[in-house]
Structure 1
Amino acid sequence: MSLEPVLRFLHIAGVTLWVGGMFFAYVCLRPAAGALLEPPQRLRLWRAVFATFLGWVWVAVAVIAGSGAIMIARAGMAAAPPHWHLMLGTGLLMIAIFVYVFAGPYGALRRAVDAQDWPAAGAALGRIRRAVGVNLLLGGLTIAVATLGQWLR
């Protein structure tokens, strides 16, 4: 049995978890939480959501990066189609933005919510929201490149 279908499945499953989770959080949960909850409750909700979701994103990043690296190594970097190189670039940028969110604004959000410093927590959540918005756009672009990339030749 070829390893390629398993690698592709793992890659797509990781992307689905990460990009789908960002879409849900940004497009569905954020507006609902903003409309229904006062800032302290909303910020506590986001702290709890990120505590779970970001752990899963670490798993997804590892699976995506690992499966992608193996697929590129098996094909050979020079022989990999051009859209694979583009996916690699956008994927690395997305990972860098995720690491920034995790190491910076998410830590600030946790500390501010724990200290009940609602203005600081709101500012941290705003930085996370902007970064997730960028990553969501990059994720959509990466999916487009992955599925339509054969036409880039």
Structure 2
Amino acid sequence: MNLPWLPWPLLLLVHLLGAVLWVGGMAFAHFALRPAAAEVLEPPQRLPLLAATLGRFFRLVGVAVPLILLTGLALLGRVGLATAPPAWHAMLALGLVMAGIFAFIVTVPYPRLKRHVAAREWPAAGAAMAVIRRWVGVNLVLGTLTLVAAVWGR
């Protein structure tokens, strides 16, 4: 994909802002929000809070992910796949895997979480939240590896 009418710095800015939102949001939710909520709130308060927070975050990430992929492909298109640094290929592969995991989270365990929260089925909601937490953790590791590739691949 080549978007010659968009300047390189704008493509890169949108790409990086999307990545910061996504990876930073996962780090915040995983290491700060969920543990703090678990520490001070019981499941009937904690799980609806987490479900509502994740819903807002997932809407933002649902915009960020396509923008990250489109701008990444546009940047890659400017240099060509064959001449792109190996780190760019790694970032593309990791980004596609991360996008797939995000799609899984928002289509399988997150709807379960919402359904169980609405029904006040706290153990089942907690189980759905555990699945989300596990996959967010995986995506956080992959996102960190993507950032490492971006830095070392320069």
Unaligned runs of 5+ in 2: none
**Cα separation, 1, equivalents of 2:75 and 2:30:** 31
SS state at 1:77 partner: coil
Please provide the CA RMSD for this pair: 1.1
Once the 2 structures are TM-superposed, how far is the Cα of residue 74 of structure 1 from its aligned partner?
A: 1.7
Match of 2:134 among 130, 134, 139: 130
* Structure 2 residue aligned with 1:56: 60
Whole-Å Cα distance in 1 between the matches of residues 71 and 26 of structure 2? 21
Aligned to 1:93: 97
Normalising by structure 2, we get a TM-score of 0.94
What is the rounded CA distance, in whole Å, between the counterparts of 1:27 and 1:105 in structure 2?
Answer: 20
Correspondence 1:82 to 2:77: no
Aligned counterparts of 1:20 and 1:98: Cα–Cα separation in 2: 15
Displacement, 1:75?
1.3
Q: Match of 2:32?
A: 28
Aligned residues: 150
| Structure 1 unaligned blocks of 5 or more | none
Distance of 1:96 and 1:44 partners within structure 2:
25
- 1:29 is aligned with what amino acid? L
- Paired with 2:118 and 2:54, the residues of 1 have a C-alpha distance of 14
Distance 2:115 2:39 in 1: 24
Q: TM-score, normalised on structure 1?
A: 0.95
SS at match of 1:100: helix
Q: What residue identity is the alignment partner of 1:43?
A: L
